[in-house]
């Protein structure tokens, strides 16, 4: 039985709005409807083993694709390296008899793709799969977020949260919340989501009473249609959304609270690191000071000895200068030069001054005599008289 929907003014308007083109020619498009995703557990291994998508996430998907310009590509087998074969242009949510919620999507394919349109109508191709990235993947037991900052690669490899809950064991799974990106919808040979199939017109047109009768029977509703599914009219959808808003709000609040706690811990860790670094620096400085003090204590006796020797040497030099000073002064006077600031010169400077005048030490101190030593004043006077005689000239008398 054909699964293609008849083109209606409503569908035409939705298609044109989805691509934001009011003049788009829709006369050569084949429109189909598919159960895209539901809140039932996903049939996959690894991180998404038994994963459940929140009703609020399904509503986000419906809103995104129904918005003006919100159409997403229709691909084959998730191969995005080739051009899309059509577009998904609308989405609605429906309640299921099991209490779950499903997302119903509508997509179009150009009728010129005859083989593809025929394969869908003849159920050769009857399953779809979404390319969906959610914002969060919360552990069903503790709300640990496998996509959050607290998670690392090992959590996703080991499928175990920080609280020790392992995906696939004892019913543990992830709850997928929030749409980060719905990139495409693909026609596949087997979908990942349970009952993600292209719907037949018979099922789409089934009225609510028939659905309720089938749901009340002991035979599962979906088994009545083999690979097909049953279109559910919107029943009490507002209540479902309200409940989901509460659950989503709780999860969001928990996520925000966790983020706040993590921020506080990060701030405290930063402060603790700064204090630790300062403590380490102070300990290193204290150790260095203790080592310097130990070295000073060890060298104190030697320094005391050197200081005493230096003091003794300085005293001797001072005494020597005092003794040498009058002799140098006398020698300078004898040489015809008088120095008035000799008291500010040290021993070495006095000797250098004597040598600069061409004098010898014995000329400064004189020669000792056995009959007594003349005083400095006497020697200076005698030397002055000799100088006077040396500069006198003898002139012949006329």
Residue 295 domain-assigned (yes or no) = no
Residue 288 domain-assigned (yes or no) = no
pLDDT, residue 266, reads: 66
Q: Would you call 137 helix, strand, or coil by DSSP? A: strand
Q: In angstroms, rounded to a whole number, what is the distance separating the alpha carbons of residues 140 and 171? A: 9
Domain residues for the domain of 43 are 9-235
pLDDT, residue 45, reads: 83
Report the number of distinct structural domains present in the chain: 1
Strand intervals (E) in 195-336: none
Residue whose pair of structure tokens reads 């860790």 in the numeric block: 269
Please provide the DSSP assignment of 258-286 as one string.
HHHHHHHHHHHHHHHHHHHHHHHHHHHHH
Q: Would you call 24 helix, strand, or coil by DSSP? A: coil
Q: Would you call 151 helix, strand, or coil by DSSP? A: coil
Burial of 240 by CB count in 10 Å (0-12 exposed, 13-18 middle, 19+ buried)? buried
pLDDT, residue 361, reads: 55
Q: Buried b / exposed e across 271-289, counting CB within 10 Å, b at 16+?
A: eeeeeeeeeeeeeeeeeee
Residue 154 domain-assigned (yes or no) = yes
Q: Buried b / exposed e across 199-208, counting CB within 10 Å, b at 16+?
A: bbbebbebee
Residue 272 domain-assigned (yes or no) = no
Q: In angstroms, rounded to a whole number, what is the distance separating the alpha carbons of residues 301 and 367? A: 46
pLDDT, residue 78, reads: 87
Report DSSP state, residue 199: P
Strand intervals (E) in the chain: 29-38, 52-53, 72-76, 86-95, 101-110, 127-139, 174-188
Residue 281 domain-assigned (yes or no) = no
Residue 252 domain-assigned (yes or no) = no
pLDDT, residue 255, reads: 53
pLDDT, residue 326, reads: 76
Residue 325 domain-assigned (yes or no) = no
Report DSSP state, residue 295: H
**pLDDT tens column, 275-300:** 888 888 888 888 888 888 888 888 77
Q: Would you call 175 helix, strand, or coil by DSSP? A: strand
Q: Find, among 348, 136, 103, the residue nearest to 256 by Cα.
A: 136
Q: In angstroms, rounded to a whole number, what is the distance separating the alpha carbons of residues 286 and 350? A: 50
pLDDT, residue 244, reads: 47
Q: In angstroms, rounded to a whole number, what is the distance separating the alpha carbons of residues 224 and 337? A: 139
Residue 397 domain-assigned (yes or no) = no
Per-residue pLDDT tens digits of the chain, which is 398 residues long: 678 999 999 999 999 999 999 999 999 999 999 999 999 998 888 999 999 999 999 999 999 999 999 999 999 998 888 999 999 999 999 999 999 999 999 999 999 999 999 999 988 888 898 888 999 999 999 999 999 999 998 998 999 999 999 999 999 999 999 999 999 999 987 655 555 555 554 444 444 444 455 454 443 333 322 222 222 233 333 334 444 445 445 555 555 566 556 666 766 777 788 888 888 888 888 888 888 888 888 877 888 888 888 888 888 878 877 777 777 777 777 666 665 566 667 777 777 777 766 655 556 555 554 455 555 555 555 555 544 454 444 555 44
């Amino acid at each position: 039985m054909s699964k293609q929907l008849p083109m209606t003014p409503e569908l035409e308007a939705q298609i044109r709005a989805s691509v934001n083109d009011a003049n788009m020619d829709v006369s050569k498009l084949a429109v189909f409807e598919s159960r895209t995703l539901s809140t039932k557990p996903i049939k996959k291994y690894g991180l998404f083993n038994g994963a459940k998508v929140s009703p609020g996430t399904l509503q986000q998907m419906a809103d995104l694709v129904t918005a003006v310009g919100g159409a997403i590509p229709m691909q084959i087998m998730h191969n995005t390296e080739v051009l899309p074969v059509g577009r998904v242009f609308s989405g609605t949510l429906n309640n299921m008899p099991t209490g779950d919620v499903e997302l119903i999507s509508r997509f179009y394919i150009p009728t010129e793709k005859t083989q593809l349109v025929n394969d869908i109508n003849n159920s050769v191709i009857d399953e779809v799969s979404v390319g969906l990235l959610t914002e969060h993947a919360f552990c069903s037991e503790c709300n640990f977020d496998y996509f959050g900052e607290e998670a690392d690669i090992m959590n996703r490899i080991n499928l175990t949260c920080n609280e020790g809950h392992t995906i696939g064991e004892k019913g543990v799974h992830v709850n997928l919340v929030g749409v980060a990106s719905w990139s495409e919808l693909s026609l596949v040979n087997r979908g990942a989501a349970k009952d993600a199939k292209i719907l037949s017109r018979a099922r789409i047109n089934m009225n609510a009473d028939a659905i309720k009768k089938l749901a009340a029977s002991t035979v599962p509703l979906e088994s009545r249609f083999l690979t097909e599914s049953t279109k559910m009219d919107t029943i009490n959808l507002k209540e479902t959304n309200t409940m989901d808003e509460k659950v989503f709000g709780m999860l969001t609040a928990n996520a925000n609270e966790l983020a706040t706690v993590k921020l506080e811990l990060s701030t405290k860790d930063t402060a603790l690191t700064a204090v630790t670094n300062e403590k380490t620096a102070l300990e290193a400085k204290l150790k260095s000071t203790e080592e310097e003090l130990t070295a000073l204590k060890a060298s104190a006796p030697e320094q005391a000895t050197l200081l005493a020797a230096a003091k003794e040497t300085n005293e001797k030099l001072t005494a020597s200068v005092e003794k040498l000073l009058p002799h140098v002064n006398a020698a300078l006077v004898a040489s015809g030069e008088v120095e008035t600031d000799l008291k500010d010169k040290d021993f070495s400077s006095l000797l250098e001054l004597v040598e600069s005048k061409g004098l010898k030490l014995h000329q400064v101190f004189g020669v000792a005599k056995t009959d007594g030593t003349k005083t400095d004043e006497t020697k200076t006077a005698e030397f002055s008289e000799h100088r006077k005689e040396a500069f006198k000239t003898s002139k012949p008398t006329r």
